[in-house]
Amino acid sequence: MKVMILAAGRGERMGNITKNLPKPLVQVKGKALIEWHLEKLAYAGFRDIVINVCYLSEMIKEFVGDGSKWELNVVYSEENPVLETAGGIRNAIPLLSYEPFLVINADIFSDFNYKKLKSIILHDTIDGYLVLVKNPKHNQAGDFGLLENNFLALEGDILYTFSGIAVYHSRFFNQIELGKKMQLLPLLNSSISKSLIKGELFDGIWSDIGTPERLMAINNIN
């Protein structure tokens, strides 16, 4: 299974921290965010990684290189301008092949074990498999419900937050024109409403490093 790390965004909410530094290179506990992902992916047995880049892309490419430092094979999907999440994934599909692939937001920090997702099989009737987490303070309303049969729901008594970790089938993005900007949420909402998305709840360490305050908070955890 190939992996895509989403690393093209500007990270505007980080203020001056990302003025001259792409968010994937922000330091968390002494390492760049993207390095945590690469180390964990290598440990889990993944080898082929696609990273989409746009903002300060040369800095990311210089830091990661070809991935050999982590015994990985890294290639890059260039965007200019940034194509948003779904558009960026669609743009990278020729590099990902047309089998199911893992997608990870570069700007999250978590102790989730990616190896668990290597065994996920997406049948013809399933477009994706999302990892959900309990709602952080900045998203207390949640995103999606999780039914007993592991299908996701748009409504429910309890909604959870999408972690930014998921396995998708390439056909999920076929409806997007190559090179077109497209957000992910409308696609997810459509497929969830048709019972085409499954998932699981993760109860470990997870943080969306979206603001300086969240960065400080995660760095203060022992």
At 49, which CATH number? Answer: 3.90.550.10
Give the per-residue pLDDT at 124.
Answer: 80
pLDDT at 125: 86
Give me the DSSP letters along 156-181: -SS-BEEEEEEEE-GGGGTTSPTT--
Give residue 220's pLDDT band: very low, low, confident or very high (50, 70, 90). confident
Determine the pLDDT at residue 155. 96
In whole angstroms, what separates CA 176 from the centre of its chain?
A: 18
pLDDT digits (tens, 9 = 90+) for 100-159: 999 999 999 999 999 999 988 888 889 999 999 999 999 999 999 999 999 999 999 999
pLDDT at residue 187 greater than cutoff 80: yes
pLDDT tens for residues 164-178? Answer: 999 999 999 999 999
CB 65 within 8 A of CB 31: no
| Sequence letter at residue 144 | F
Q: Quick one: pLDDT at residue 11? A: 85
The average pLDDT across 7-32 equals 93
Confidence of residue 58 (pLDDT cuts 50, 70, 90): very high
Element (H, E) at 76: strand 73-78
**pLDDT tens per residue, range 62-102:** 999 999 999 999 999 999 999 999 999 999 999 998 889 99
State residue 121's pLDDT score. Answer: 81
Is pLDDT of 222 > 80? no
Amino acid at 93: I
| Residue (of 16, 219, 191, 199) closest to 120 by Cα position | 199
Say how far apart CA 88 and CA 176 lie, in whole Å.
10
- pLDDT tens digits for 188-213? 999 999 999 999 999 999 999 999 99
pLDDT value of residue 186 = 97
Computed on alpha carbons and rounded to an integer, the radius of gyration of the chain in Å comes to 17
* Residue range(s) defining the domain that contains residue 116: 3-219
Backbone angles phi, psi at 54, to 5 degrees: -150, -70
Domain count, the chain: 1
